[in-house]
């Protein structure tokens, strides 16, 4: 494997961890009980696990290894409220054994995430808009994948004995993952900036975790940018996919397998993990404009309820400020009169 595709786990110092396999076995039994109660949940969970195994992000472990240099991570499935049919398997890197967890030993790293407001503003400076995301994370160094072990049934058959597997890529549930996810593309961009200037600038300035949005003045510029960004990512064994644009000519130059399917509106909150409400600014591709889809929960007519409603509207660029101002004025008046 090319070393450019690997990134070590950023430990504070090399840990000597307790044996937590028993914890993983107990959590797996809880998962099995949930499988027995919910057939759809089981089917979706098995499909997810089979997919990451087939993509080469997971491998089966056939050796015991050094006990104090391995860690088992419990996992469970979560449905995304915005996409009720999509299950996301969360690996619990905060699970503790003898008072410690994997996350306790990982560095968070510097905040290298690009400013979200800046990305959104630059996104519509020019007429040709382009959006995509990265399909997978960087690989971990081979010897460190034993810290990312987990238990699973082969082919999802819960009647068999669970086997030991390990992740070959960084997990999104780890403390270090946001830093690694943002540092990796920036590193690749700097390494290949001389040969791929347009793609390099795009990757450095317009990435937000695994989402990428940008714009160009011309169709040719967008085509070149997409091509260079794909080439840079391929050098790090990463894959850009789910390309979307407001220009059909640009999309026609990208393989269909790497384009988003049947998408007329894209969420610009860049939060693909489950969240309490489906809120946020969106880009309507057909009309080429921003729109909002705010689903507000019914709150009690109290000061706290009104504050919760006003604060729940996600509007980073202030498009809704004249509308939200009415709610803020009501709240201000309640505070002045001491209304509870």
> Burial level of 222, CB count in 10 A (0-12/13-18/19+)?
buried
Note whether 51 and 167 are same-domain residues: yes
Same domain assignment for residues 163 and 14: yes
Give the list of residues 6+ apart from residue 269 with CB closer than 8 angstroms, or none. Answer: 279, 280, 281, 314
Measuring CA to CA, how many Å separate 208 from each of 7, 51, 52, 56, 212?
Answer: 19, 25, 23, 25, 6
Which band of pLDDT confidence, cut at 50, 70 and 90, is reported for residue 36?
A: very high
**Both structure tokens of 231:** 């080439």
Residue 254 lies in a domain: no
Structural domain count, the chain:
2
C-beta separation of 61 from 195 below 8 A: no
Quick one: 10 and 155 in the same domain? yes
The phi, psi pair for 200, rounded to 5°, reads -65, -45
Pairing between β-strand 265-267 and β-strand 281-284 as defined by DSSP bridges: antiparallel
Residue 189 belongs to a domain: no
CATH number for the domain harbouring residue 50? 3.10.10.10
Both 300 and 170 in one domain: the answer is: no
Q: Tell me whether residue 228 is in a domain.
A: no
HSE, CB side, 13 Å, CA atoms: give it for residue 256.
2
Angle at 46 between CA 44 and CA 49, to 5 degrees: 110
- Is residue 149 domain-shared with residue 286, that is, in the same domain? no
User: Are 173 and 290 part of one and the same domain?
Assistant: no
Q: How far apart are the first and last CA of the chain?
A: 63
Taking the C-alpha atoms of residue 209 and residue 200, their distance in angstroms, rounded to an integer, is 16
Q: Which residue has the higher pLDDT, 23 or 315?
A: 23
Digit-coded pLDDT (tens) for 230-287: 999 888 878 888 899 999 999 999 998 898 876 677 777 665 433 333 346 788 888 8
Residue 253 pLDDT: 94
Final residue of a structural domain among 125, 154, 178: 178
Is residue 193 a part of any domain in this protein? no
- What sign for the dihedral angle of Cα 101, 106, 109, 112? negative
Q: What is the pLDDT of residue 276?
A: 37
Clarify whether residues 37 and 153 are in a common domain: yes
How far apart CA 306 and CA 34 sit, in angstroms, is 38
Say if 149 falls within a structural domain: yes
User: Is 152 inside a domain boundary?
Assistant: yes
CA–CA separation, 245 vs 131, rounded Å?
A: 6
Q: Do 171 and 291 reside in the same domain of the chain?
A: no
Q: Which of 125, 146, 178 is at the close of a domain?
A: 178
Q: Is residue 52 a part of any domain in this protein?
A: yes
| Mean local confidence (pLDDT), 288-317 | 83
Q: Assess whether pLDDT exceeds 90 at residue 41.
A: yes
**pLDDT for residue 1 is more than 70:** no
In this predicted structure, the answer to whether residue 309 has a pLDDT above a threshold of 90 is: no
What's the confidence (pLDDT) of residue 278?
A: 39
Range(s) of the domain holding residue 166? 3-113+138-178
Does a structural domain hold residue 155? Answer: yes
What is the per-residue pLDDT across 115-148, written as a single tens digit (0 to 9) for each?
A: 778 888 888 889 999 998 887 667 787 778 999 9
Q: Which residue has the higher pLDDT, 309 or 33?
A: 33
Helices 219-235, 197-205: inter-axial angle, 10-degree rounding = 80
Mean pLDDT of 158-180: 90
Between 56-65, 84-93, 208-217, 227-236, the lowest mean confidence (pLDDT) is in: 208-217
Given a cut of 90, whether residue 156 has pLDDT beyond it is: yes
Quote the CA–CA distance of 24 and 27 in Å, as a whole number.
5
Q: What is the pLDDT of residue 133?
A: 85
């Amino acid at each position: 494997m090319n070393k450019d595709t690997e990134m070590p786990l950023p430990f504070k110092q090399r840990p000597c961890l307790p044996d937590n396999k028993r914890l993983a076995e107990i959590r797996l039994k809880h998962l099995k009980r949930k499988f027995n109660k919910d057939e759809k949940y089981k089917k979706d969970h098995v499909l997810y696990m089979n997919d990451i195994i087939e993509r080469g992000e997971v491998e089966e472990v056939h050796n015991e290894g050094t006990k104090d240099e391995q860690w088992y991570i419990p996992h469970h499935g979560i449905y995304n409220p915005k996409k009720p049919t999509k299950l996301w398997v969360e690996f619990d890197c905060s699970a503790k054994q003898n008072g410690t967890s994997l996350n306790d030993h990982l560095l968070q790293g510097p905040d290298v995430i690009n400013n979200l407001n800046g990305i959104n503003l630059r996104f519509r400076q020019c007429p040709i808009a382009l959006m995509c995301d990265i399909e997978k994370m960087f690989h971990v160094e081979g010897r460190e994948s034993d810290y990312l072990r987990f238990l699973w049934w082969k082919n999802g058959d819960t009647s068999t004995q669970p086997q030991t597997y390990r992740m070959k890529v960084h997990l999104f549930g780890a403390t270090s993952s946001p830093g690694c996810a943002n540092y990796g593309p920036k590193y690749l961009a700097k390494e290949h900036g001389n040969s791929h200037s347009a793609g390099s600038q795009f990757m450095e300035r317009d990435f937000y975790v695994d989402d990428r949005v940008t714009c160009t003045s011309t169709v040719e510029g967008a085509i070149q940018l997409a091509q260079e960004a794909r080439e840079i990512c391929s050098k790090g064994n990463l894959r850009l996919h789910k390309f979307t644009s407001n220009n059909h000519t640009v999309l026609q130059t990208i393989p269909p397998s790497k384009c988003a399917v049947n998408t007329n509106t894209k969420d610009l909150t860049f939060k693909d993990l489950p969240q309490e409400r489906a809120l946020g600014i969106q880009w309507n591709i057909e009309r080429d404009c921003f729109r909002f889809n705010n689903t507000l929960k019914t709150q009690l007519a109290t000061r706290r309820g009104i504050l919760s409603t006003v604060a729940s509207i996600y509007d980073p660029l202030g498009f809704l400020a004249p509308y939200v101002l009415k709610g803020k004025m009501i709240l201000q008046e309640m505070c002045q009169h001491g209304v509870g």
